[in-house]
Structure 1
Amino acid sequence: MLLKKYMKTRRKVKILLLVTIVTLIVITCIILLGSSGQNGATVERLLDERFIQRAYQPQSEQQQQPKEQAMVLQSHREHGVIVPEKYDEQKIKSRIIQNRLQQVKQQQQQQHENAAEQMRTTMEAVATAVHIFYTAPVPWYKSKKPPQPQPEHPNDVALPLTTPKPVKVLNTAFYPALGLYKPSAKLLGQHFENIRSCGIGVLILNFVRPSDPALLHQIIEMAPQHNLSVTFELSVAGNRSVEFVHQQLQDIAGYIELPGFYRVWSQSRGALLPVLYVSNAYKLSESLGRQLCRPPEAPAEELPEKRIGHGDMGSLRRVLDAFYIGHIRLKSHADVLRRLCFDGFYSKLPSNGAVFASTWKNWSYLKSYALSYKMLFVPTVGPGFAERNKFPRHGDIQRHRSNGRYYGVAWRTAILNHVGFINIASYNNWPDGSQIEEVAPRAGFLDYNPGSRTKYLDLTAHWVGNFLKTRQEAAGAAAQNCYELLNNTIC
Structure 2
Amino acid sequence: MARLRRKSCMLLFLFALFVFGTLVGLRTLKPSDGLSDLDISPINGEKVDRRAVFSDVLSPAAQERVVASKAKAAGSHPSQDRGVSYDVHIFYYTWYGNPQTDEKYLHWDHILVPHWDPKIAASYPKGRHVPPEDIGSSFYPEMGPYSSRDPEVLESHMEQISTSGAGVVVLSWYPPGLADDHGEPSEDMVPSILDAALRHNLKVAFHIQAYKGRTEHSLHNNIKYIIDRYGDHGAFYRFSSSSGKVLPLFYIYDSYLTPTEAWAALLTSTGSHNLRGTPYDGVFIALIVDEKHKHDILAGGFDGMYTYFASNGFSYGSSHQNWKGLKDFCNGNNLLFVPSVGPGYIDTSIRPWNNHNTRNRVNGRYYETGLQAALNVQPEIVSITSFNEWHEGTQIERAMPKKTLRHVYLDYQPHEPDLYLELTRSWVEQYHKEKERFLV
In the superposition, the TM-score normalised over structure 2's length comes to 0.68
CA distance in 2, matches of 1:246, 1:437: 33
- Determine the structure 1 residue equivalent to 2:172: 206
- Determine the structure 1 residue equivalent to 2:29: none
Establish whether residue 140 from structure 1 lines up as the match of residue 114 from structure 2: no
Alignment of 1:298-309 (within 5 A): none
CA distance in 1, matches of 2:434, 2:79: 19
Change in 2 beyond 3 A, CA 1:197/1:166 = closer
Tell me which amino acid in the other structure corresponds to 1:191. H
CA distance in 2, matches of 1:414, 1:391: 28
Match of 1:469 among 423, 433, 438: 433
Deviation at 1:235, TM superposition (A): 1.8
Tell me which amino acid in the other structure corresponds to 1:362. N
CA distance in 1, matches of 2:268, 2:360: 43
- Determine the structure 2 residue equivalent to 1:321: 281
Task: Give unpaired runs (5+ residues) of structure 1.
Answer: 1-118, 147-164, 297-310, 479-491
Alignment of 1:389-400 (within 5 A): 396-400=356-360
- Determine the structure 2 residue equivalent to 1:459: 423
Establish whether residue 228 from structure 1 lines up as the match of residue 196 from structure 2: no
- Determine the structure 1 residue equivalent to 2:336: 376
Alignment of 1:236-275 (within 5 A): 236=210, 240-253=214-227, 254-266=229-241, 268=243, 271-275=245-249
Deviation at 1:392, TM superposition (A): 9.3
Tell me which amino acid in the other structure corresponds to 2:231. I
Higher mean C-alpha displacement, 373-382 vs 130-139: 130-139
Change in 2 beyond 3 A, CA 1:352/1:166 = closer
Change in 2 beyond 3 A, CA 1:237/1:329 = farther
Alignment of 1:335-484 (within 5 A): 335-388=295-348, 396-443=356-403, 444-475=408-439, 478=440
CA distance in 2, matches of 1:423, 1:188: 20
Deviation at 1:271, TM superposition (A): 4.2
Deviation at 1:228, TM superposition (A): 0.2
CA distance in 1, matches of 2:217, 2:153: 36
CA distance in 2, matches of 1:369, 1:418: 13
- Determine the structure 2 residue equivalent to 1:174: 139
The answer to whether the 8 A contact 1:360-1:410 is kept is yes
Q: Which has the bigger relative contact order, CA under 8 A and spacing at least 6? A: 2
Establish whether residue 127 from structure 1 lines up as the match of residue 93 from structure 2: no
The answer to whether the 8 A contact 1:127-1:199 is kept is yes
Deviation at 1:423, TM superposition (A): 0.6
Tell me which amino acid in the other structure corresponds to 2:146. Y
Task: Give unpaired runs (5+ residues) of structure 2.
Answer: 1-76, 97-106, 115-125, 178-184
CA distance in 1, matches of 2:338, 2:293: 14
CA distance in 2, matches of 1:412, 1:122: 27
Deviation at 1:140, TM superposition (A): 1.4
Q: Secondary structure at the match of 2:296?
A: helix
Higher mean C-alpha displacement, 185-194 vs 437-446: 185-194
Tell me which amino acid in the other structure corresponds to 2:416. S
Change in 2 beyond 3 A, CA 1:224/1:377 = same
Match of 2:161 among 192, 195, 212: 195
- % identity of equivalent residues: 30
CA distance in 1, matches of 2:394, 2:275: 37
Q: Secondary structure at the match of 2:141?
A: coil
The answer to whether the 8 A contact 2:216-2:263 is kept is no
Q: Secondary structure at the match of 1:396?
A: helix
Deviation at 1:250, TM superposition (A): 2.8
Q: Secondary structure at the match of 2:140?
A: coil
The answer to whether the 8 A contact 1:347-1:379 is kept is yes
Higher mean C-alpha displacement, 436-445 vs 230-239: 230-239
CA distance in 2, matches of 1:377, 1:331: 14
CA distance in 1, matches of 2:219, 2:289: 21
CA distance in 2, matches of 1:238, 1:365: 33
Change in 2 beyond 3 A, CA 1:449/1:394 = closer
Tell me which amino acid in the other structure corresponds to 1:220. L
CA distance in 2, matches of 1:145, 1:263: 37
The answer to whether the 8 A contact 1:123-1:197 is kept is no
Tell me which amino acid in the other structure corresponds to 2:436. Q
Tell me which amino acid in the other structure corresponds to 2:421. L
In the superposition, the TM-score normalised over structure 1's length comes to 0.61
The answer to whether the 8 A contact 2:108-2:129 is kept is no
Q: Secondary structure at the match of 1:246?
A: helix
CA distance in 2, matches of 1:265, 1:243: 26
The answer to whether the 8 A contact 2:79-2:159 is kept is no
Q: Secondary structure at the match of 2:110?
A: strand
Change in 2 beyond 3 A, CA 1:468/1:123 = farther
The answer to whether the 8 A contact 2:136-2:350 is kept is no
CA distance in 2, matches of 1:266, 1:422: 15
Change in 2 beyond 3 A, CA 1:438/1:285 = same
Q: What is the alpha-carbon root mean square deviation over aligned residues?
A: 2.8
CA distance in 2, matches of 1:314, 1:460: 38
CA distance in 1, matches of 2:352, 2:140: 24
Deviation at 1:442, TM superposition (A): 0.9
